[in-house]
Chain A
Amino acid sequence: MAEFFTMLFDTNTPLGWFIVKTLIILAYVVVLLISLAFLLLADRKIWAAVQMRKGPNVVGAFGLLQSFADFLKFVFKEAVIPAGVDKPIYALAPVLTLLMAFITWAAIPVAPGWVITDLNLGVLYILAISSLGVYGVILGGWASNSKYAFLGAMRSTAQMISYEVTIGLVLITVLLLSGSLNLTVIVEAQAGGFWHWNGFALSPITLIMFPMMIIFFISALAETNRPPFDLPEAESELVAGYQVEYSSTFYLLFMIGEYLNIVLMCALITLLFLGGWHAPFDFAPFTWVPAVLWFAIKICCVFFMFSMVKAIVPRYRYDQLMRLGWKIFLPITLIAVALVGAWVTFVINGG
């Protein structure tokens, strides 16, 4: 029996490698989903606190189990499929959203060596897969056979494509500084205290990189359809945008995918600008904390900012959103790319 198990989990044989990898992926997904449940609760609690409400507080102590109760509620509800929908595509859209949200995480390292696939083109992979996330929204909106859903999908797609440009250009500035597309290498380049992090480095380039971090944060808000850029779901205009006709588990899949993307953006900001899993000070009491915990703490801090923005900022108008993306962020990031490129060529590499 023991021999059987050693054979089963031996990573040198193809079968063992397959089994071990599958188990790792499953564990990753479970951890991700459970943390997501509590982040969702935190989101609602922060939102409530800003508005001087209590927020969810009935299910479990302090409402800790609220997300799980919501989960069960969605699963057991009846799935209402409206007449005239394109059924295969209607069912495909939420699954696609969730799938794309999950497979992006495959390239995210959470601690030294803790990554499912350490891709050399990690950043490009994340950019590629997140650009596929648009399809879940546009197909869901179109297949629903509803004007509100379609309008929401159109808005969402235009918005996501516009802000992807900005995100790509901000990524280029970070890539130029680190000289690699591998996320692990990018994080290791920021080792040794917060004065080495891309966002706060003790060097003149921070004058560019700190605004880049802010622009990335705002673009991430727009990319994930979060308030103040939640125009695709603006309930005062479009009821609920592309999700109008979705109910029960289909809606749940959309929502999990959306929140996974938000946490992914938090993780990306952490990895690219906030030193990833490195402690803010590289001496004793701080280095005792495990690397993965630092990563989680930083993600929570960025997520807190996401929640605060949702709670206090009013919604943008659509033309204002487009103006911000194309007329303000795009020129600024383009100039920043040129400046960072000059900095790397003439200062770091010394001409």
Chain B
Amino acid sequence: MEIGTVLPAIAFYLFASTACICALMVVIARNPVRSVLFLIMTFFSAAALFVMLGAEFLALLLVIVYVGAVAVLFLFVVMMLDVDFVELKQGFAQYLPLGGLLAFVLTVELIVLGTTFRLPENFSAQVPIEQGVSNIEAFGLVLYTDFAFFFEAAGLILLVAMIGAIMLTLSRKKGVKRQNVSDQVARTPKDGLEVLDVKPGEGLS
């Protein structure tokens, strides 16, 4: 066997099996923080698989957005939660029938799909990008021309969602003393300090 063909195969099976095992561990890990850590490992393996497909840009995007930001927020929330394990287990019997049914349906669907799906006769791995154009250029060429409208619409939707989230959590209570930095910076000894000539024995006022 040529080493050039064996290495990618080894790498693929390594990352693929890591992704699957970690995905399983997300569900069965006892500690929710560990669950999130396994989720991060899953993301990371998926990114590695993207790299092996030649989609470096997608892989790095996955790492930056999901591993670097989204998963950190998950971790934040999970770490600060006060999780009561006893209470969690109490609902187990109650949800078992519904959960079991869902799992059964999904398994049947997967089996049906797996046994009936056939690749087209003359199928070969498609390489969508022509040679010589880097990943990110290829993305830009379609995103900002053919799909410019959808791209900008997606951006607008995100903006609306962001403003909505901010509005939901914004609270303007009366009587709260807020800090106004520009006021603080603009303050000079002149308007903060007054030197009075107090006569002895009389006081002010």
Contacts and interface: CB of A to CB of B under 8 A. Distances in A.
Interface of A: 14, 86, 89, 119-121, 124-125, 127-129, 131-132, 134-135, 138-139, 142, 150, 154, 157, 161, 164, 181, 319-320, 323
A140 B72 CA distance: 14
A120 B55 CA distance: 12
B75 interface: yes
Closest 8 CB pairs of A and B: A131-B68, A128-B63, A124-B60, A14-B3, A128-B60, A128-B64, A142-B79, A120-B134
Interface in B36-51: 37, 40
Contacts of B31: 86
Contacts of A161: 69, 72
Given A14-B4, A142-B33, A323-B181, A132 B68 contact: yes
Most chain B beta-carbon contacts within 10 A, residue among A125, A128, A154: A128
A131 B69 contact: yes
B175 to A, nearest CB: 19
Given A128-B63, A157-B76, A121 B68 contact: no
A229 B57 CA distance: 32
17 contacts: A14-B3, A14-B4, A89-B37, A120-B135, A120-B136, A121-B134, A127-B64, A128-B68, A129-B63, A131-B64, A131-B68, A132-B63, A132-B67, A132-B68, A161-B69, A320-B181, A323-B181
Contacts of A164: 68
Nearest to B6: A14
Contacts of B3: 14
Is the contact region of chain A dominated by helix, strand, or loop, or is it mixed?
helix
A223 to B, nearest CB: 12
A181 B179 contact: no
Given A121-B57, A131-B64, 8 more contacts: A89-B33, A120-B134, A121-B56, A121-B60, A124-B60, A128-B68, A135-B40, A142-B33
A138 B75 contact: yes
A92 to B, nearest CB: 9
Contacts of A132: 63, 67-68
Contacts of A157: 72, 76
Nearest to A157: B72
Contact of A181 (B7, B63, B69, B136): B136
Interface in B64-105: 64, 67-69, 72, 75-76, 79
B56 A154 contact: no
B76 A154 contact: yes
